[in-house]
Amino acid sequence: MTEPITDRNVRVGVFGAGGWANRSHIPNLLKLNGVEIVAVCDMDERARRSTVERWGIARAYADGHDMLNAEDLDVLYSCVPAFARTNVEVAAAEQGIHLFSEKPQAIRMSVARAIDEAIRSAGVFSTVCFRERYRPIFQEARRLLADKKVVHARFTSIRSFPAFPPPGEEHSWRYQEDKAGGPAFDWGCHAVDYTRFMTGLNITDAQAFYCHCPEYVKALSSSFNFRLSNGGTMTMTFVCSLQGGSAGHREPPFSIFYEGGRLDLYTYDRIELDGAVVFRGEEFDPWLEQDRIFIEAVRSGDDSPILNDYHDGLFSLAPVLAGWESSRRNGERIEVNTFMRA
C-alpha cells in the first residue's frame, strides 16, 4: 500500500513518444478520469513535436532525466525500445515515481535487474505491459489449467517473409537484430509470459537456434527449447513463410499438453479442449484495461488488482535473453536462474 491520491489528478510523464505510446497508452490515459499527462520525452524532435501537438501535452523533453528533474510526477510510462533503457527508470523509482514499463524490459539482464532493485527498494508500484493477462480468454485458460499437470507447452508463430527496410529507414533500430531482436525477442517475451500465466510455471533452462542469413533483415527461423519448473518442456518457434500469417490460422498459437488431454488457445478467438470448443473470445481491449487498473492502483494506493509487477516480468524476459545468448553459443543450454544473476 502507498498513500492514495484523493485531491488531485494522477500526474503522468511518458518516456518515449513512439508507436505504442501514441496508438495505445496516451489515448487510453486521456480516456480515464483524473489523469493528467504533464510531459512527454523523446530524443527524436519530430516525435516529441508531433506527440505534444496531437494530444495537447504541455511540455516535451529530449532527455528523461531532465523531465524527471523538472516535473512532479506520480507515474512514469516507459515506452522506449528495450535497447534504449539505461537508468531513467532507476532514477524515477528513487524519486518515488510508480513505473509502467513496456516490454521487453531491456536487452541486458543487468539493466533490468538494476531497475528492479530500485523499484523494490523504493516500494513503488510497477507493472510490465503483458496486457493479455487481462484478456478474459487467457484468464479462462488459466482457470481450466489450474488443476492440470502440464507436461509440454508449445507456441508457434508463422509470419511473413522478412521485409527489407523501407526507403529512408535502412538504419532504423527496428532492422538491427542486435537492438530489435526480431519477433523472437518482441513476441517471444509475450509467449513466455502468457505460458507462465496460464500454467503457473517458470522456465529453468533455455536453448535456442537462429537461422539469420545476412541478406535478410530478420531471422528466417528462431527455435527455443525450454525446461519448465515442474520438469515439463516448452518449445517456442518463429518461422517466416511466403504465405505470411495465414498458415498460422490452421493451428493454435498456444497448445498446452497436460496429463490426460490438451488445451489449444487460438489467441483471441477460442479455447479448445481435445478439439472441442469450450470458450469463445469476445471483443476486449486489454491495453485499456491494464492502463486503467494501473492508474487506479496508484490513485487508491492498492496494487492488489495488478496482475504482474516488474520483478515478475524478469521471469518472462530472462528465458528469451538466455535463448538469444544460447544461439550465439551454438545452442548451449543455459540455466535461467544463473543467467538472471550474471
Q: pLDDT tens-digit profile of 44-80?
A: 999 999 999 999 999 999 999 999 999 999 999 999 9
Closest CA to 284 of 272, 303, 268, 297: 268
Q: What is the CATH number of domain 10-124?
A: 3.40.50.720
Angle at 229 between CA 204 and CA 121, to 5 degrees: 70
- Residue 164: predicted pLDDT: 73
Residue 229 and residue 137 in contact, taking contact as beta carbons nearer than 8 Å: no
> Look-up: residue for cell 533455455?
206
Residue 270 and residue 179 in contact, taking contact as beta carbons nearer than 8 Å: no
What residues in the chain have per-residue pLDDT under 50?
246-248
Distance CA 234, CA 230 (A): 11
Q: How many CA atoms lie within 13 A of 40 on its CB side?
A: 27
- Residue 249: predicted pLDDT: 54
- Residue 67: predicted pLDDT: 98
Distance CA 340, CA 325 (A): 12
Whole-structure pTM over 0.75, yes or no?
Answer: yes
Strand order in the sheet with 98-101: 59-61, 35-41, 10-15, 75-78, 98-101, 126-128
Enumerate the CATH 3.30.360.10 domain ranges in the chain, comma separated: 133-284+319-341
Per-chain mean pLDDT for the chain: 94
- Residue 183: predicted pLDDT: 83
Q: What is the CATH number of domain 133-284+319-341?
A: 3.30.360.10
- Residue 248: predicted pLDDT: 45
Enumerate the CATH 3.40.50.720 domain ranges in the chain, comma separated: 10-124
- Residue 262: other Cβ atoms inside 10 A: 16
Strand order in the sheet with 334-335: 276-280, 270-273, 261-265, 254-258, 150-160, 233-241, 221-228, 203-211, 334-335
